[in-house]
Every structure is written in C-alpha cells, then in structure tokens.
Amino acid sequence: MTDRWLKIALAIAGLALLVVQIYITPSPDPRDIKHVALQSVHRQVWTGRMAPELEVPMLDGSTFRLADHVGQRVIVLNFFATWCGPCRMEMPELQRYVQALAREQAPVVFVAIDVEEKRGKVEDFIKELSFALPVGLDESGDLARKYGVEGYPTTVVIGADGRVKLFETGAISNADVSLSPFVHPQIDHIRHGQGISRDNYRKVLATEPNTSPEPAEPKGVVLEGRARRIADTMICPCGCSDTVSHCNCHTATAIKEKLAAGGFDAQKTDAEVMTALNREFCMKGM
C-alpha cells in the first residue's frame, strides 16, 4: 500500500471512530443543562454581594448573629432539611472539614440551618447522624428566603469583607476541593487584620439591594404565596436535581397544578406538605 492510500485509510478509520463516538455518547439531559444554568445564575447573583444580616436560634439555646462574627471569622452557612437525602450524605464530610479547621484554630464559624421543621425532629435527625457541629432553626423559612435558597442543601461562604464568596446548591462530596479555595484565602485576610468591621458591614449592606432571581414557571400554572414557596424549595421527585419550580417534567407539572389549586393541608408545615407530595408523586413521573 502506498503512503497516499495509507493516509486515506487512516483518515477513513478516524472518521468512522468519530461517528461511533458521537453515536454512543449520550446526549446531555435537558434537566441537567437547566440545573447547571440555574446554578450559574445564582452564583452570578450572589457572588460578591454583601451577605444579608441573619439571626437564628440554635439547638443549644443560644442565638447566632451573623453581625457578631462578620469580619472576624469566615462564615459558612449550610441550609438543609431532614427529609433531604443529599443533605444527609454531605453532613459527615462537612463535619470532617470543619473539625479539621478547628484543630488548626482557623477563624471559621460553621452553622447548619434547618429550614421549616420543628426542633424535636431536627434533634432526632442530628442525634441519628452524630452530627456535632452547630445547628440553627429557621422554622418559618424566612432566613432561607432571605438568602434566596431554592434547593437543599445550599452552602454559602461569607468572606472577611462580609461578601458572599460561594453560593453552592447540591451536596458537597469533597470539601477540600469545593470549599477550601474560597475559605482559605479569607482565613488569611482575617489573620492579617483585613476583616470588615461590624459598623462598616451594616453601612455597606444598607446601600445594597437584596433581590433574588425569580424562578420561571411553566405556562398555564400560576403559583403564589405559600404554593410558590413550596415549589421553590421542593426538589422534584422525578429524579432530577431541580426544584419543582424549575422542572417541567410530568411530575413537577402535576405537583405545581395541585399546589396552584390549593391541594394541600394548610395545617401542615411546608416540610410536611413536601413529604406528602413526595409520597403521592414520587412514582408518577418515572
């Protein structure tokens, strides 16, 4: 075979391999694309913004006030719920990471904030997981809404200047990779006396608006008030990682239709409503 024919044969073989690769490579799931896009929007909206003031009652009876720590410590907030599987999965890793920082006497404070659940349920959950880090209670869900939380878990890193350095929704499997690039530079700033004062933090915060991106709703379904809040928070049971608000699968659409029609027990908490909806719809969209 001449060199010319050898080159032609190799080119044909390469083209054939490319066609096979394209054929066997699965197309990206539209839900995954949408979730990544939503993540990107939230990062853009929150990264660099002054963190909203926050005051939360703790399980140990104390009260955590963000303004008491801003500029003096790197603040890591983790919004979670006991019914959230990814929250349960990431907690041992978060505990390992934070305890390692504590042994180094790093100026870091971590607070896990349960959203819209009662104290007893959270205490049982924490005891079951042997979770030893500080836990706060956002029983009304107001704090999560203030921080634009639309899915669990959501982790927020607040730097030495009081600004959000990381806004991440989804379970953290390796905190050294996910958190350290945002936490450690801020530790250095604080150790060098570069943290913002509480007065300056509040002055700057007063000049900045606190707006969150509004989730898009499918045509024909209008959600308001509590129904909107539940859809913004609940992860779709269809198996994707979107909230019900952002997912347009059959399951999410059915849930939104039921919420829009007021088809939930008004006496139940949001978490209880979401649990009931999960039971009702978890198999219908599969």
Q: Which fold has domain 34-207?
A: Glutaredoxin (3.40.30)
Take residue 130 and report the two structure tokens written for it: 């042997």
**Is the Cβ–Cβ distance between 170 and 78 less than 8 Å?**
no
Report the predicted TM-score, pTM, of the whole model to 2 decimal places. 0.66
Instruction: At 73, list the tokens.
Output: 């410590």
Query: Number of C-alpha atoms within 13 angstroms, CB side, residue 196?
Result: 23
DSSP state of 246: T
Non-local (6+) Cβ contacts of 1 within 8 A are 9
Tokens of 263: 């088809």
Question: Is-contact 112 146, C-beta < 8 A?
Answer: no
Contact 98, 108 (CB under 8 A): yes
Which pair of tokens denotes residue 118?
């009662």
Q: Coil, helix or strand for 78? A: strand
Instruction: Give the count of beta carbons closer than 10 Å to the beta carbon of residue 154.
Output: 23
Residues of the chain within CATH 3.40.30.10 domain(s) are 34-207
pLDDT at 46: 83
pLDDT of residue 17: 60
Q: What is the pLDDT of residue 244?
A: 79
Cβ neighbours around 266 below 10 Å, total: 7
- The pLDDT of residue 266 is 80
Q: Tell me the pLDDT tens digit for each residue of 43-90.
A: 567 889 999 999 999 999 999 999 999 999 999 999 999 988 899 999
pLDDT value of residue 210: 59
Per-residue pLDDT of the chain (286 residues; tens, 9 = 90+): 565 565 556 556 655 665 555 455 554 444 444 444 455 555 567 889 999 999 999 999 999 999 999 999 999 999 999 988 899 999 999 999 999 999 999 999 999 999 989 999 999 999 999 999 999 999 999 999 899 888 889 999 999 999 999 999 999 999 999 999 999 999 999 999 999 999 999 999 998 865 554 444 445 577 788 888 888 888 877 655 567 777 766 677 888 888 888 877 788 888 888 888 887 776 443 3
Dist CA 155 CA 149 (whole Å): 9
**Whole-number pLDDT of residue 130:** 95
Cβ 247 vs Cβ 236: under 8 Å: yes
3-state class (DSSP) for residue 121 = helix
Report yes or no: 64 and 136 within 8 Å, Cβ to Cβ. yes
Structure tokens at 74: 């790197």
